[in-house]
Amino acid sequence: MGILKVDIPNHSSEEVSYTINCLIGEFLGLEFELNKKDIPNTIIKSKRGSLTINNHFFKDDKGAGEYSISNLPTDISDDTIELGGNRLPLLSLFGNNRIEEDMEDLTLDSDIIASTFFMLSRWEEFINPQRDEHNRFPAKASVAFKNGFLNRPIVNEYVELLWILLKKIGCSQKRKTRSYKLVPTHDVDRPFLFTSFSHNFRLLGGFIKRLHFTELIDFCKYAILGTDPWDTHDLFMDLSEKANVKAYFFFLPKGDDKNDGRYDLNDPKVKRLYEKIKDRGHHIGFHPSYNAYDDIELFKKEKGELEKAAGQEMKFGRQHFLRFSTPRTWQIWNECSMEWDSTMSYADCSGFRCGVCYPFPVFDIENRKQLNLKERPLIVMEGSLVGYEELSLKESKKKVDILKSEVLKYNGEFVFLYHNSSFFVSKYRNLDIQLLNHLYQ
């Protein structure tokens, strides 16, 4: 079969070995043997030749000392390289779009190791202080948005380029077989519009006070008909079953902030919803509250509350409001034995925040180690399309199609988020069912 031999520099070996493991092991599914040597560049050897990947970033063993505003990629090259008479697209964050061929030996001057690590580790968010009103790193501050490649999963592009190069130097292994996967997720911030009489009365008063007469009329209509517009959980499961996939429902504890949920996890109506989801074979996950993203004690407390209420262990979920701190949030999830998170999408703009549409193990840049936790990147949230980006239905569908076509190209996971509580909200009016159906197509 021919196991690949990978020699890496002694310095920054934790970061480089993690990235090699992602590119060659996790994404391509190939066997390799890794060795640390006193060399300047990474060299991958196969039975016919070798591939040298020039090192343009990890110059010493500073670890987190490498991460600074001055080291953010600025001279980004988006062009093509020529290989065997073919022109291949290549977006280089570090290094140059150049490849040299010497018989069976290749040298790639684009530092795809540093570029991949940059996207997966999110170290730019660690050193860039820009934040929005919810203390989130905004898409518009990112290198990807500023340079127009947020809609491109560039790490997937590096994987494909690497595969071509490995075959050219004689790699005879078979790569991991993948198939496109639709992953519908639903953050249950508020499972029902109508709860107690006092709650309903406060809602009614709020509509009158804010002069939201359209919502007031709809509220009264739904109340008279006895129909709850937020009780769309069966609809989500119906659509998922029709698409032959399982849906994920992430439940939110009350928390201690005004932006948190206001329902009781032990409410009999909510508990019946847990059982319905489980009976139909779908999944229940954890949606930590607004302040739990950097508070491990709050995270543990809420996780225990939901596990007790739902009668099962919580192993996956997503942060409320997509609040995330690099690398603290991943550290908390890992320390609490979570298997995977799906927070990594920007609230203000859909796309490939981590540059990839495959699940991947995360890296703790402070402690310089790979964690057990995996990330399943969120690609599209309805609130980003219709709310932050202010797209029409037609524009939203077009954006979904662009992103989904990229995921299909690489047989990746199209993870999308649709809130049950988006129904009945004025700015989503006439978009909800049409946009939801389009996400499932």
pLDDT of residue 403: 98
Phi/psi for 67 (5° steps) reads -90, 110
CA distance 280 to 145: 40
Q: Hey, what are 320's tokens?
A: 């409320």
What does pTM read for this prediction? 0.93
Comparing CA positions, the residue from 88, 251, 59, 249 lying closest to residue 168 is: 88
Largest separation between any pair of C-alpha atoms in the chain: 79
Residue in the structure block whose two tokens are 């995977």: 340
CA distance 16 to 20: 6
CA distance 355 to 154: 5
Q: Set out the domains of the chain in order of their start, with CATH numbers.
A: 4-168 (no CATH), 181-193+228-440 (3.20.20.370)
pLDDT of residue 208: 60
Q: Hey, what are 119's tokens?
A: 């996207």
pLDDT of residue 228: 78
pLDDT of residue 219: 65
* Cβ burial, residue 45 (10 Å; 0-12/13-18/19+): buried
pLDDT of residue 223: 62
**Averaged pLDDT in 10-residue chunks for the chain of 441 residues:** 91 95 98 96 95 91 75 91 83 94 92 97 97 97 97 97 96 97 97 69 57 61 70 95 98 90 92 98 98 97 98 98 98 98 98 98 96 98 93 94 98 97 63 85 88
pLDDT of residue 226: 63
